[in-house]
């Protein structure tokens, strides 16, 4: 099945490299306004399946704003783990075997 250029831009944007990930490049959300209703339904189904893997999927579902998109749980808004989320216990507190 042949798709419109906006649909292809959104799908192509799902495959990103390190620099796009690092810079936090979002999907082309304006392209969602230009896809056909059947393409929008297909994109919505795809985004619901992917929503836990990328914050951009949740953002696109919010832009779609349909009842199905609204029922999809929020998904990840940031990476699952970042080094600065963990306390620096190794620096602020010595290991237990040294205290014994």
pLDDT digits (tens, 9 = 90+) for 39-52: 999 999 998 888 77
Could you tell me which residues come within 8 angstroms of residue 39 by beta carbon, excluding any fewer than 6 positions away?
3, 4, 7
pTM listed for this prediction: 0.65
Nearest to 78 by CA among 27, 28, 21: 21
Mean pLDDT of 56-61: 86
According to the model, what pLDDT value does residue 88 have? Answer: 52
pLDDT band at 21 (very low <50, low <70, confident <90, very high): confident
């Amino acid at each position: 099945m042949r798709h419109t250029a906006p649909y292809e831009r959104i799908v192509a944007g799902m495959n990103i490299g390190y620099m796009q990930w690092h810079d936090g490049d979002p999907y082309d959300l304006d392209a969602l306004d230009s896809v056909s209703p059947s393409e929008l339904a297909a994109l919505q189904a795809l985004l619901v399946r992917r929503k836990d893997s990328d914050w951009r999927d949740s953002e696109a579902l919010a832009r779609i704003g349909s009842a199905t998109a609204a029922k999809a749980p929020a998904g990840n808004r940031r990476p699952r783990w970042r080094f600065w989320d963990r306390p620096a216990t190794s620096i602020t507190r010595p290991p237990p075997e040294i205290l014994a």
